[in-house]
Amino acid sequence: MAGRHALRDTLLVTPKTKVRLDRIDPSDSHGHDRESAGLELAAGLERLSDLQDRLWAQANRSVLVVLQGIDAAGKDGTIRHVMGAFNPQGCSVTSFKVPTPIELAHDYLWRVHQRTPAKGEIGIFNRSHYEDVLVVRVHDLVPKSVWSKRYDQINEFEQRLADSGTTIVKFFLWISREEQRERFQARYDDPRKHWKFSMGDLDERARWDDYVAAFEAVLSRTSTPWAPWYVIPANRNWFRNLAVADILADTIDDLNPSYPAPREPLPEGLVIE
Ligand code: ADP
């Protein structure tokens, strides 16, 4: 039986270790089974809902959730199934797309910093500043001399956020190449999913190995005590959801958010008419 912090310990990328994704099985469900997954997820979502309520009431810390993964890894599904536990008041989702001309006219962290969560809030990044060392590296959008400095810059940026009261937790959703093929095929075959599919996705798929190398560099260089990465085996959606919910709940639990005391002393036995 999995212990309380078992998934958090098991899936953590220990800082300063070299990650080899070919050694991580994207179908692993770490002793959990599909039959009990529904109940486990429900319990995780219940915890998240309660914790968020307290975090929002206390309003002195924020939580930043970063979601990354290769195309079709399940970022949208994770947001729908896990973050649905949150009261929309106090929660924001930002999806980072190809930068606009205005964004490109600034440094790469400019658009990111504007979307970091305020005190009491949970901010979810669907893609993030990590694109600036992923797609940017794979496509040579800036010279290596520029992107190679960004790992340290990102660590410093995240440390600054952490120092000012933001708890950061980063999830890398890891699917296999075959699983991506099946998901793309399903998107192509189902007219309701066509909006999610473009021929350009296949060009990106052709660069699978480059993306894996870029993700390995991210995971190896930017998992820190103040902003840890977790590699979530994501071939099975049910495991992905329960692992993310569980780790996120454990992380917020550590902050022990609590309801604030009344603004002024309250009289005893008050009956309001
Ligand atoms: P989704 O996130 O659902 O795949 P899109 O299909 O609109 O949404 O994809 C967003 C695209 O924006 C991705 O191809 C991603 O690589 C790209 N992107 C995000 N950030 C950057 C960046 N900083 N530089 C270049 N491209 C980026």
In angstroms, the CA 176 to CA 233 distance is: 9
Residue 5 pLDDT? 55
- Coil, helix or strand at residue 228: coil
**If you measure from the C-alpha of residue 187 to the centroid of ligand 1, how many angstroms do you get, rounded to a whole number?**
18
Q: Which atom of ligand 1 is nearest to the CA of 204?
A: 14
Q: Does the pLDDT at position 241 exceed 70?
A: yes
**If you measure from the C-alpha of residue 180 to the centroid of ligand 1, how many angstroms do you get, rounded to a whole number?**
17
- What tens digit of pLDDT does each residue of 67-84 get? 999 999 999 999 999 999
Q: Does the pLDDT at position 233 exceed 70?
A: yes
Is 67 touching ligand 1 by the criterion CB < 6 Å? no
**If you measure from the C-alpha of residue 93 to the centroid of ligand 1, how many angstroms do you get, rounded to a whole number?**
15
In angstroms, the CA 191 to CA 188 distance is: 7
**Number of Cα atoms under 13 Å in the Cβ half of residue 199:** 0
Residue 2 pLDDT? 45
Q: What is the CB neighbour count within 10 angstroms for residue 228?
A: 19
- What tens digit of pLDDT does each residue of 20-65 get? 999 999 999 999 999 999 999 999 999 999 999 999 999 999 999 9
End-to-end CA separation in angstroms for the chain: 52
**If you measure from the C-alpha of residue 1 to the centroid of ligand 1, how many angstroms do you get, rounded to a whole number?**
39
Helix (H) / strand (E) containing 65: strand 62-69
Residue 4 pLDDT? 47
Residue 64 pLDDT? 98
- What tens digit of pLDDT does each residue of 97-121 get? 999 999 999 999 999 999 999 999 9
Q: Whose CA is nearest to atom 10 of ligand 1?
A: 97
In angstroms, the CA 203 to CA 198 distance is: 10
Is 158 touching ligand 1 by the criterion CB < 6 Å? no
Q: Does the pLDDT at position 1 exceed 80?
A: no
Residue 241 near residue 25, CB atoms below 8 Å: no
Is 121 touching ligand 1 by the criterion CB < 6 Å? no
- What tens digit of pLDDT does each residue of 120-178 get? 999 999 999 999 999 999 999 999 999 999 999 999 999 999 999 999 999 999 999 99
Residue 247 pLDDT? 98
Kindly tell me the number of DSSP H helices and DSSP E strands found in the chain: 12, 5
Q: Which atom of ligand 1 is nearest to the CA of 200?
A: 14
- Coil, helix or strand at residue 125: strand
